[in-house]
Amino acid sequence: MKKLVLLFFIFVGTTLFAQPQNYIVVDRNGTGNFRNIQQAIDSVRAFNPAGTVTIFIKKGIYKEKLEIPTHICNVKLIGEDRDNTIINYDDHANINKIGTFKTFTLKICGTDIRLENLTVQNSAAPLGQAVALHVEGDRAVFVNCRFLGNQDTIYTGKQNARQYFVDCYIEGTTDFIFGPSTAWFEGCTIFCKRDSYITAASTPENIKYGYIFNNCKVVLGDKVKEMYLGRPWRAYAMTLYMNCELPDGIKAVGWDHWKNEENKKTARYMEYRNTGKGADTAGRTWTKVLTKKEAAEYTVENVMKGYDGWNPAKEFSTKK
């Protein structure tokens, strides 16, 4: 009998010890493996040979400035409840003159990182650029997340990196989705808090795809009356809205050239089959309205495939 009891405790102890290797629980109340998310991230082995690690984050407000470095890959951060599992920090660019790119609440540099059911917030006052999500990692996926901020909420920060956003809520004021990466936004809600610009892509000339918004809904705050779909942070910015709902209040011209007429010759701004009062393309004097044949090129499979044939939409298409 004693031998059986001893074996039982050895089995239970081994199970509990092994669990954090692939499934980690974070809880501010102390019931999980860690109280802080960064501690959980730091516990993952570099280029973990054990496969995918899931970090389950219980409801709570986590005031942390998080970084997932390049050697931490193949990790899922899953919140218990999207609206009540909140990662929050409050840096902005004019605090000690740190500049835009150090203001992030969450910075992702590792490959194959997935966020689900989480809120990532930069709660700084609107006194300068304040990034909530800074993502440089390739094959990053964001599902049912909220990204809250003002100016520069999401920075897609590396060319040739690919990011896929599904059913997310993104809010901000100026250029609140910006950067050089290739990013697909599927079924997302884009909430504009102030008269300004939604996107500021900086797609390099040699990169074919920048930002694609498909089946998204743009919503304007009560006091917002004049919104641009985007402006080119760099000359060859590429952005496409297709099958999106665009409200009254989107400027008739649609896009801004960032005080440089030359940008009209190089920026790759496109629209296709959008709806709503803001979708009228009669005033779009220098952007392209795609034909059905031209629009057929813009699929997740084509845009995201890169060098490895990545198609993140496969998972979601099988669920419908």
**Rounded to the nearest 5 degrees, what angle is found at the Cα of 176, between the Cα atoms of 310 and 57?**
65
> Is residue 110 within 8 Å of residue 72, measured between CB atoms?
yes
Catalytically annotated residue among 175, 222, 256, 308: 175
C-alpha 32/C-alpha 58 separation (Å) is 9
Whether 152 sits among the annotated catalytic residues: the reply is: yes
Whether 112 sits among the annotated catalytic residues: the reply is: no
> Is residue 148 within 8 Å of residue 171, measured between CB atoms?
yes
C-alpha 219/C-alpha 241 separation (Å) is 14
The closest of 18, 12, 120 to 64, measured between CA atoms, is 120
Amino acid at 257: H
Which tokens hold the place of 212? 């694609």
Catalytically annotated residue among 152, 195, 248, 308: 152
Catalytic residues, by residue number, are 152, 175
